[in-house]
Every structure is written in C-alpha cells, then in structure tokens.
Amino acid sequence: MPKTELAVQGKFLDVSLKEGITASDAMKVVDDICTRLQKAETSVEHTRLLLGRLLADVQDRELYRPDHASFEQFTLALAEKHRLSRPTLRNALMVARRLPELSVKEAESIPGTSLTLIARAAATAEPRQIKKLNAEAQGKTILEFRDGVMSRGLVGRPGRPHESARKTVTVKIPDVSRAIAGKWGILLGSRKPAALFAELVNAAIGEAGQRAA
C-alpha cells in the first residue's frame, strides 16, 4: 500500500498501515485521525462564527470603503479571493446577526447547516425557542433537526419564500379599548409581534378546520 501522509501544523504524519501492524495499533491510527477530523470540523464552526461577527462589524462601520462601493461588492471580491461560496459568507453573517448570544462552545457543538436553520428561525421565533433549538440541534442529525423545525413552521420548506422574501402585514384595528390593548400587551409579553400573529392565525385556522370536520 502506498505511503499516506497527513500535513498537521507544517509537519507530515505517516498514517499508512504498515505490513504486520496489529489490529490494536491500526485502531489507534484510525482513532487518531477521527479525533483530528472531529477537531477540524468543530474548528470550522468556530471560525465561521468569528468570520460572521467580523463581517457584521465591517458592514456596520463601512470598513469595506473606499476599495469597494458597497458591502455586496466587498463580499463578492472576498468570495472570489478566498474561493468561498457566497452562501457561506451570507450564512456566517446571518448567524452572527440573528444569534448574538451564541457562544463559541455552542457553535462548535452544532453542525453548520443546523446552525443556519436556527438563524433562519430566529427571524420570528422567541429567544426561549432559540435556546431550545440550540440544545435540540446538538442531539440530532441535520436531517432530523431540519424536518423538526420545518414541521413546526419555524422555517419555510423548499420552494416556499425565504425570510427575506416574506411580506410585511400591517393590521390596524380602530376603536380598541384600553382594556383590550392592555390584554394584548400581556399576551405579547417578550415575544415578537410576528411570532404571536403567526400563532393566532395558525390556531384560528386549526379551529376552523375542526369545526368543518
């Protein structure tokens, strides 16, 4: 079998399984490479989170000028220079913007795809829901987690509008008494109006369906 080398911090490690190697020693080599791979993957999520926070700061302070006329042009140049996909940069920024309380430890324990789903859900979900999603994502596969958040309507399914394409609905209700207005405030609590509105609409549709049945 040809010699196989792995570059680690400027040094090459021989990871080929030599003739006569024992099963025990072979498993040690396999375990060592798996450990390095796992560390590399968590490091990717750590780096992605830091990149998102840097991009947010650059955008807010317009540090991309004067070399670039817009932040969009800056990200295009960045993607081409470092051979990164635009979705990678866009998702990193979205995670940083929508999940400002996310810790590095959490980022390292959640697959990137699941983290992006949580960030998408954060557009309308309550903070307590986001905390639950963070914990949930650590114990499920990407497919299991994606199906779960989609089935609950926290993110759109493929083919449905993305958050950026969602419409804004303005509801004006005249002649509302102070008592009702006060109850609305109690019902809203710390939730986002969009989340409460979606909850009420879904509940009304569900009740209508039950009556029709």
pLDDT of 5: 40
Report residue 6: phi and psi, to 5°. Answer: -120, 125
Q: Is the dihedral of CA 74, 121, 39, 29 positive or negative?
A: negative
pLDDT below 50 — which residues of the chain? 1-11, 160-165
User: How far apart (Å, rounded) are the C-alpha atoms in residues 148 and 31?
Assistant: 32
pLDDT digits (tens, 9 = 90+) for 83-116: 888 888 899 999 999 998 888 888 888 888 889 9
pLDDT of 13: 55
pLDDT of 19: 80
Q: Do 113 and 146 form a contact (C-beta atoms < 8 A)?
A: yes
Report residue 143: phi and psi, to 5°. Answer: -65, -45
pLDDT of 119: 92
User: How far apart (Å, rounded) are the C-alpha atoms in residues 91 and 52?
Assistant: 8
pLDDT of 165: 46
Instruction: Tell me which residue has tokens 């081409």.
Output: 80
pLDDT of 209: 56
pLDDT of 208: 61
pLDDT of 7: 43
pLDDT of 142: 87
Contacts of residue 154, defined as CB under 8 A and 6 or more positions apart, other chains included, come to 120, 121, 124, 125, 129, 133
Contacts of residue 75, defined as CB under 8 A and 6 or more positions apart, other chains included, come to 55, 86, 89, 90
